[in-house]
Structure 1
Amino acid sequence: MTATLTEPGTPGTPGAPEAAVRPASVARGYRFELVKLVSQWRIRLLVLACWIAPALFVAVVSQQSDLPVDTVFGRWMNATGWAGSLVMLGFAGSYALPLLTSVVAGDVFASEDRLGTWRHLLVAVRSYRRIFAAKVLASLTVILVLVAGLAVSSVVGGVLGAGDNQLVGLDGHLLSPGAAAGQVLLAWVVALAPTLALAAVGLLGSVALGRSPMGLLLPALVALAMAVAQLLPLPVALRFALPTYAFISWEGLFTSPAQTGPVLISVAVCLVWTVVATALAYFLFLRRDFTNLSYDGSARRTITVGALPLVGLIVVAFAVLAAATPSLGSGVTQDKVQRSLSVAFAHLYRLQTDELHRPAVTEAQLDVTSACTKGGDLVPQEGPGNDWRCVVTWHLPDVATTGQAIYQLDVTSDGRYVADGDGPKEVNGYFQVRTPIGDQPNPMWQFDGNVELL
């Protein structure tokens, strides 16, 4: 029996009888698409890896003496389990999450082209719109399961390997285990925003490029290009206009007070990207030619409907941020570096005082100030670089002399810096300090900091 379709834009045969066959519901289509995804061996392998591998990695590394100190929070992995989850988050944002979105969202439509199963699916569901919704929801569900696995597994491995201890923030202040748990969870939630944006790009590539492998690679390539761009000396407004900046902005949550401005801006940019890229994918999907079994996408339509609107998003976001905030420079200025270093030094000095069982002192009593210079006199005193040299000055109660310490700073373009103690040795040199969780390096020897670019 021939059936007519009740929705515009759905496949059908003219001249059908009056009794129309209703399209399958979105819920049934969603269950069907979810079963198809989960039945794939590579998806099952990814789910298994995301729920097991992070725990093993974090637990093993936490027991090593050679820690990944070049990664933010890496130097604290054997002191607290919460640091391990944040190290895994940094790795996931750079590598794992873009690849996961490519494998799931970048292939959810293209797989039908490769297998030649579009006609069977269209006959079974009888609605373009419901097919699109079901595939989007199924891919989103799998991605959420994968991200949840990375987060939960890394936390479990960290707590088992290093314990549920307090965490040292990026400005030297201490977070209790409960506060650290909340901030770590929030950081993973923030990382969901750019993951969704890349997933939407994957949907767009999967629809626009058909059987072409470029659709599968598109989210990873976009993430790689934007990661390279973040390494360049770009204006702050342009950094925030890229959706992948949210993979970095969560670091501002671990200062006191938290740097919520960059986090909110980057999440908002990601959500706009998610909506626009998904809408473009939907627009292209409704105009697909499903009679062509060798469809590899239309280059002209992919550029005009897919790529150019997303580039336009970057331009618009850059213009809005440049007009709303003073963010046309690098964001790394002499005053910001000095202020950030002073705050971190004061917090860490108190931590060192407590670990060495010296008389307690407050930040107000220390009255820490910093004087930083970058390169020589002819070099502008701003911008990233490893040539920042700072002299920190502080005072102790009832002590006439003023203390001074020297630090060499390596400031990256995203505002993160590593401070390396350069004397005096008894203040910021290397030596072991006995703590309740075991011997740890002097907390003032080397530490990570963060300059708020806005």
Structure 2
Amino acid sequence: MTATVAAPDSPVVRRVPITRGYRFELVKLLSQWRVRVLIIACWLAPAVFVTVISQQASLPVDTLFGRMMHATGWAGPLVLLGFSGSWALPLLTSLVAGDVFASEDRLGTWRHLLVAVRSPRRIFVSKALSSLTVIVVLVIGLVVSSTVSGLLVVGNRQLIGLDGHLLSPGDAAGRVLLAWLCALAPTLALAAIGLLGSVAMGRSPMGLLLPAVVALAMQIVQQLPIPVALRLALPGYAFISWNGLFTEPVQRGPLLIGVIVSLAWAVIATGLAYFLFVRRDFTNPTHDGSGRRALTAGLVPLVLLLGVSTAALAPITGFGSGIDQDKVQRAVAVEFAHLYRLQTKQLNRADVTEAQLQTAAECTKGGDQVAARGPGNDWRCVVSWHLPGVDAAGSAIYQLDINPLGRYVSDGDGPKEVNGFFLVRTPTGDEPNPLWQFDGNIELLPVK
């Protein structure tokens, strides 16, 4: 009789679930001293910044809503949002997403990670989700810290919008929160570019710097007199288009386009990073993902996306700057009417409505020999209005500086009783004159 020996059961290889991989990658990120410092800074530094600036005699008037930091606590988070969109958020995405894959190349730990997880796809998803979580925590810290400090130091007061109308504290709170939510879209786009750079360039420091370099390049391009279609096709435009939330009616068109374009960049850049990562040769310890494939499968598709987006937006936006005489005159007249009513209330005069004022503006650029269109600091507007029971019309002169993004600063140039001085004497003391200088925003899309 022959004996039959049963073969032992072969071990079952099980892949690590994404949830466990996500927790593992999140712990790895949070254990880094650099990430811990970033979290502490984002939750504390904005409070210090808003508190110090709000108590200074000089305000950052060159920043949108900077001149409002003495008047309401809701100006603080908006000033910080303008700064963060230009510098803080690109740097944060570089330090988090731009290094999440490259760190494994520097440490030489890919083999150990693959043995533990057994799936490049799960590794990619876990790293992408963990970096996204840390970035969201950083953004929440910026919002909460700046808002709480502004409300505690200055107070929960009304906010003057970019067309001069007053926003109640509740309305201001909703729009501030929505502005930060919209800024998440370009932040995700930069984070996706960081993932792509981290995968494609491996241990090279350029991968770490890629989101910051891309953001800086977009800032430079945005300051140039480029067509509106190209301006809106850049993923960083949503860092700017939130300005339209603070007008009435809300300028939704540029904001929606900016958010959609940013999300498209985020999805495609993440997809390209995934494509490069899962096709990487992990058996070669000297291979870090760089090479011709990184150029053809990483850079070229993004350039094509920019071209396709520009071509798709061109019929909607036109090919000009988006700034013309009619838009400037309409924006200045509407804002002056709102602010005139605010000054009337300060001086304890009889209230009038915008319809009674019949405000109008006549604007020129650089004299009669230059076409009144495009950005520049040589715009001049003469605003006229009527008061009930008064035959003669009032008039005021403003010098305007309009940047390529549509933001303008109006500087009062007389008469002195209306806009000639920084302060006005009210029954309760001297207060800032709302008609002396004011910020505004021109929608770059065609107005129906």
Pairwise TM-score range, normalised by the shorter structure = over 0.9
Q: Could you tell me which of 365, 371, 379 is aligned with 1:388?
A: 379
Alpha carbons of structure 1 residues 434 and 177: separation in structure 2 relative to 1, 3 Å: farther
Which of these residues, 354, 369, 376, is aligned with residue 378 of structure 1? Answer: 369
1:306 aligns with 2:292: no
For the pair 1:423 / 2:414, whether they are aligned, the reply is: yes
Is contact 2:102-2:198 (8 Å) kept?
Answer: yes
Give 1:11's aligned residue: none
Equivalent of 2:394 in 368, 382, 403: 403
Structure 2 CA distance for partners of 1:374 and 1:404, relative to 1, 3 Å: same
Structure 2 match to 1:193? 185
Output the CA distance in 2 between the equivalents of 1:417 and 1:288: 49
What is the distance in 2 between the residues matched to 1:343 and 1:78?
Answer: 24
Aligned to 2:354: 363
Provide the residue aligned with 2:20 in structure 1. Answer: 28
- Preserved contact between residue 347 and residue 427 of structure 2 (Cα < 8 Å): no
**Number of the residue aligned with 1:276:** 268
1:18-57 alignment runs, 5 A limit:
18-57=10-49
Find the counterpart in structure 2 of residue 70 from structure 1: 62
1:344 aligns with 2:330: no
Matched, 1:135 2:127: yes
Change over 3 Å in CA distance of 1:230–1:438 after alignment to 2: farther
- CA 1:157–1:34 in 2, change beyond 3 Å: closer, same or farther? same
The reply on whether 1:164 has 2:146 as its aligned counterpart is no
Tell me the amino acid that sits aligned with residue 99 of structure 1: L
Task: Return the offset for 1:292.
Answer: 2.9
Q: Is the partner of 1:379 in helix, strand or coil?
A: coil
Q: What's the counterpart of residue 239 of structure 1?
A: 231
Cα 1:356–1:328 change in 2 (3 A) is same
Query: Residues 285-300 of structure 1 correspond to what in structure 2 (within 5 A)?
Result: 285-300=277-292
- The alignment status of 1:226 with 2:186, answered yes or no, reads no
2:404 aligned to 394, 409, 413, which one? Answer: 413
1:320 corresponding residue in structure 2: 312
Q: Does 1:262 align with 2:254?
A: yes
Counterpart CA distance in 1 for 2:82 and 2:426 is 27
TM normalised by structure 1 equals 0.94
**2:170, 2:391 → 1: CA distance?**
40
Distance in 2 (CA, whole Å) between partners of 1:309 and 1:440 is 55
1:124 equivalent among 109, 116, 124: 116
| Larger displacement relative to structure 2 (89-98 or 370-379) | 370-379
Amino acid at match of 1:392: V
Residues 57 and 157 in structure 1, CA contact (< 8 A), matched pair in contact too: no
The answer as to whether partners of 2:106 and 2:203 remain within 8 angstroms in 1 is yes
Unaligned ranges ≥5, structure 2:
1-8
CA contact (8 A) 1:429 1:442 kept: no
Aligned residues: 438
String of CA shifts for 1:131-187, please: whole Å, max 9, x gaps.
Answer: 111001000000000000001101011111211100000000000000000000000
Alpha-carbon deviations, 1:365-398, whole Å to 9, x = none? 0000000000022212100000000000000000
Report how far residue 299 of structure 1 moved.
3.1
Whole-angstrom CA distance in 2 between matches of 1:198 and 1:255: 27
Once residues 431 and 78 of structure 1 are traced to their aligned partners in structure 2, the CA distance between those partners, rounded to angstroms, is 14
Unaligned runs of 5+ in 1: 1-16
2:5 aligned residue: none
> Are the aligned partners of 2:348 and 2:427 in contact in 1 as well (CA < 8 Å)?
no
CA distance in 2, matches of 1:415, 1:264: 17
Contact 2:336 2:435 in 1 (8 A): yes
TM-score (norm 2): 0.96
Q: SS where residue 81 of structure 1 aligns?
A: coil
| Superposed CA RMSD | 1.5
Distance, in Å, in 1 between the alignment partners of 2:428 and 2:229 is: 42
The alpha carbon displacement at 1:356 in A equals 0.9
Q: Identify the residue that residue 13 of structure 1 maps to in structure 2.
A: none
**Distance (Å, rounded) in 2 between the aligned partners of 1:19 and 1:194:** 46
Matches of 2:327 and 2:21, distance apart in 1: 53
Q: Could you tell me how far 1:436 is from its partner in structure 2?
A: 11
Which whole-Å deviations, capped at 9, do the CAs of 1:253-303 have from their partners, x for residues lacking one? 000000011000000001110110000000000111222333343331111
CA contact 1:81–1:160 (8 Å) conserved in 2: yes
Residue pair 1:429, 1:445 contacting (<8 A) in 2 also? yes
Amino acid aligned to 1:447 = F
> What's the CA shift for 1:434?
6.3
User: Given that residues 102 and 199 in structure 1 are in contact (C-alpha distance below 8 angstroms), is that contact kept between their aligned partners in structure 2?
Assistant: yes
Residue by residue, what CA displacement relative to the aligned partner does 1:33-71 show, whole Å, maximum 9, x if unpaired? 000000000100000000000011101111111000000
Kindly provide the CA deviation profile for residues 320-353 of structure 1, in whole angstroms up to 9, marking residues without a partner as x.
Answer: 0012x14210000000000000000000000100
- Specify the SS of the correspondent of 2:397: strand
Match of 2:3 in 1: none
Secondary structure in 1 matching 2:338? helix
Does the 8 A contact of 2:342 with 2:434 survive in 1?
A: yes
